[in-house]
């Protein structure tokens, strides 16, 4: 079971598990975000061996994508010995559909300095299973396991995981696997009934404190709407060891 199959050196063909939530004829963008992170890491490893780590993933979502193959191109925008800015672009039929810009930085041992005031959340064993497919349709939502604490409209804590590989028959880092899950955050703490109000995200930016550990991905999420059709979904990310980083998404809110 996988979300993608590599069908050419830079081409990925989706499986039925990529089916979207807003429109069953289009992709849920989450697995594509994972593929772009995966290709940035593969490009890094092909070019250098000094272990630069990803500190930020910033995606712009340029449009919907049918459940068809995408091509991925990677380019280094800002080369450097200790810092790089790398861009990956997914295209469908020659049209850019998602652009990722990632900062890669040289790792240092900052264990004596490590600390955060980001609050921890209850562990996955402390939250109840939630049938997310009861709220959202599509193959991607059906492929994930979710445990959730509902904190009212626009607020929740969840843990999410999947037993589906990001790309069939090739190794994928934990960071890329997490990147393929993070877009679920806009659907786990809805403020309004998605059959009455649409609130798709136009982007997603994730900042990391460290490389994510295996296991569940935790999301402490708040969804907010302004009075003029703009919204923000923000999450504090966790792995099972504690706070992992933050996520923010811009929403277009349309009654």
Q: Per-residue pLDDT tens for 183-238?
A: 999 999 999 999 999 999 999 999 999 999 999 999 999 999 999 999 999 999 99
Beta-strand pair 70-78/83-92:
antiparallel
99, 170, 104, 59 alpha-carbon torsion, rounded to 10°: 20
The C-alpha atoms of residue 234 and residue 247 are separated, in whole angstroms, by 6
Q: Per-residue pLDDT tens for 154-180?
A: 999 999 999 999 999 999 999 999 999
Q: Per-residue pLDDT tens for 76-102?
A: 999 999 999 999 999 999 999 999 999
CB atoms closer than 10 angstroms to residue 29: 26
CB atoms closer than 10 angstroms to residue 200: 20
**pLDDT band at residue 247 using 50, 70 and 90 as cut-offs:** very high
Q: Which CATH architecture does the domain made up of 2-107+119-252 adopt? A: Beta Barrel (2.40)
Read off the pTM.
Answer: 0.97
- Give residue 84's Cα distance to chain centre: 21
């Amino acid at each position: 079971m996988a979300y993608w199959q590599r069908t050419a050196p830079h081409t990925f063909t989706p499986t039925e598990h990529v089916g979207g939530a807003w429109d069953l004829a289009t992709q849920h963008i989450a697995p594509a975000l994972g593929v772009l992170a995966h290709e940035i890491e593969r490009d890094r490893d092909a070019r250098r061996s000094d272990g630069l780590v990803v500190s930020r993933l910033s995606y712009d979502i340029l449009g919907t994508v049918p459940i068809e193959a995408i091509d991925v191109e990677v380019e280094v925008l800002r080369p450097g010995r200790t810092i790089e800015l790398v861009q990956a672009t997914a295209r469908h039929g020659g049209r850019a559909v998602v652009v990722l810009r990632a900062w890669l930085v040289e790792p240092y041992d900052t264990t004596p300095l490590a600390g955060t005031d980001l609050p921890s959340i209850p562990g996955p064993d402390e939250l109840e299973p939630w049938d997310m497919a009861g709220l959202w349709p599509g193959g991607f939502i059906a492929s994930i396991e979710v445990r959730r604490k509902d904190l009212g409209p626009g607020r929740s804590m969840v843990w999410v995981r999947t037993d589906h590989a990001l790309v069939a028959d090739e190794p994928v880092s934990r960071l890329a696997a997490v990147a393929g899950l993070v877009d679920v955050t806009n659907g786990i703490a809805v403020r309004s009934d998605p059959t009455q109000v649409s609130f798709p995200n136009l982007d997603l930016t994730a900042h990391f404190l460290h490389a994510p550990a295996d296991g569940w991905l935790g999301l402490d999420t708040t969804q907010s709407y302004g009075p003029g059709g703009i919204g923000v979904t923000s999450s504090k990310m966790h792995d099972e060891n504690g706070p992992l980083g933050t996520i923010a998404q811009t929403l277009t809110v349309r009654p």
